[in-house]
Structure 1
C-alpha cells in the first residue's frame, strides 16, 4: 500500500492524490516504485486537475474524464522518451515530455515548486535508464567483437644448416725476377771462388779484382 503523505509535501491536492494513488497502486509492476507526483492547479477553477506521476520505470499521466467520474491513464516508458523539460510562466509551469516518436506532451499549470521537483525526478530516472542502456550496448559490442580462437596448423620451421668456414687462401708474393749477370759480376764471382778455394793468394785476389774493376 502506497502512503499518501509522502506525495503531499508540496501542497498537492490531497483529494486528487488519494484518488490517483488508489488506481496507480494496482498498475505498478514488480519492482516499480512511485517517486514523485505533481498535481495541476489552474488559476480559476481547479475541479478536475491532471496528475503526473514519475516511477522508476515510466511517467503516468492521469486525466479525469466524464466530469471526474472516470480517470484516463496514459503511461510512457523511459525507453520511448527522448527528453523532458519544464518552463516557468506567470501561473505555474509547463511540463514538457518529448517522446522518441509523436508529438510533445505538454501539461500546463503545474505549480512551480512541483514542476521543479517533477523535472528533477524524471530527469534522474531518464539519465539512469540511458546509462543502463549504454552499458548494455557496450557489453553487447564487446561480446560481438571478442576474438575467436581458430585452431591452425603451425607452419614447419626452417632449420638453417651451418655454413662451413673456409679460411682464405694465403697470398703468395710473386717470385722475384732474376736479372742476368753481367760479365764483370761473373769475373768477380770466379775470383772469389778461387780465393775461397785457396787457389790464389789474397794479394793475387786483390790485384785481379782491381784489374776487373778498372776495366768495368
Structure 2
C-alpha cells in the first residue's frame, strides 16, 4: 500500500488524497510510480474535489462521482501530450494539458503551490520522455547504418569483382630518317622548277645529271 504522507506536503486534503491513492494503487502498471498529487480547493464548497496525479508514465485525472461514493479516472500518457502549463488566478490556478490531438484539458482551482509543483513534475517527465525518444532514434539510425554496411559487405563477399589491370597504351614513336644527298638535290631542283626559275628542259637535264651521278 502506498503511503500518503509524502503527498500532503503542500496542504493537500488528506481525505481526498487517501481516497485517490487507494484507488490508484490498483491502476498502476509495473514500474509505475506516483510522483506528485494535487487536489482542487474550490472557493465555496469543496466536498468533492478533483485531483491530478503525475506518474512516470502518464497523468491521471481523478473525479469523484455519485456524491463521492465512486471515483472516475481518466489518464493520458506522455507520448500523447504536447505540453503542459499553469495559469495563476484569483482563486488558485488553472492546470492546462495540451494533448497531441483534441482539446486542451483544463483543471481549475488548483492551489498555487500545488499547481507550480504539478507543472514542474509534468515537465520533467515530458523531458524524460523526449530524451528517451531521442536516444531511441539514435539507436535506430545506428542499427540501420549497421544493417546497410552488413548488406554491402555481404554483396562484396558473394560477388567479388576481379581486379582490372589496365595496360599502358603503347605510343609509336615516329623517327624521321635524314634525307640522303641525292634526294635532297632532286627536291631542291623540283622546288626551282615549281617556282618557274628554270625551264622544263633545264629541269630534265639537271635531273638526269643527278641520277647519273648515283
Normalising TM by the smaller chain, what interval?
Answer: 0.7 to 0.9
Which secondary structure state, in structure 2, belongs to the residue aligned with residue 44 of structure 1? Answer: coil
Match of 1:160 in 2: 167
Higher helix share: 2
Instruction: Give the drift of 1:144.
Output: 3.4
RMSD of the alignment, in Å? 2.4
The reply on whether 1:70 has 2:70 as its aligned counterpart is: yes
Per-residue CA distance 1:2-54 (angstroms, 9 max, x = gap): 12111011111111111111111111111111100000001111110001000
Match of 1:93 in 2: 93
Match of 2:48 in 1: 48
Match of 1:195 in 2: none
The worse-fitting range, judged by mean Cα deviation, of 64-73 and 147-156 is 147-156
Instruction: Give the drift of 1:155.
Output: 4.0
Which secondary structure state, in structure 1, belongs to the residue aligned with residue 136 of structure 2? Answer: helix
Instruction: Give the drift of 1:112.
Output: 0.4
The within-5 A match list for 1:86-125 is 86-125=86-125
Query: Relative to 1, partners in 2 of residues 1:83 and 1:161: Cα closer, same or farther, differing over 3 Å?
Result: closer
Instruction: Give the drift of 1:127.
Output: 1.6
TM-score with structure 2 length normalisation? 0.74
The number of aligned residues is: 177
The within-5 A match list for 1:185-204 is none
- Structure 1 residue runs without a partner (length 5+): 178-216
Write the distance in 2 (CA, Å) between the matches of 1:10 and 1:164: 95
Match of 2:31 in 1: 31
**Highest CA radius of gyration, 1 or 2?**
1
TM-score with structure 1 length normalisation? 0.73
Write the distance in 1 (CA, Å) between the matches of 2:14 and 2:82: 31
Query: Relative to 1, partners in 2 of residues 1:35 and 1:157: Cα closer, same or farther, differing over 3 Å?
Result: same
Write the distance in 1 (CA, Å) between the matches of 2:172 and 2:33: 87
Instruction: Give the drift of 1:106.
Output: 0.6
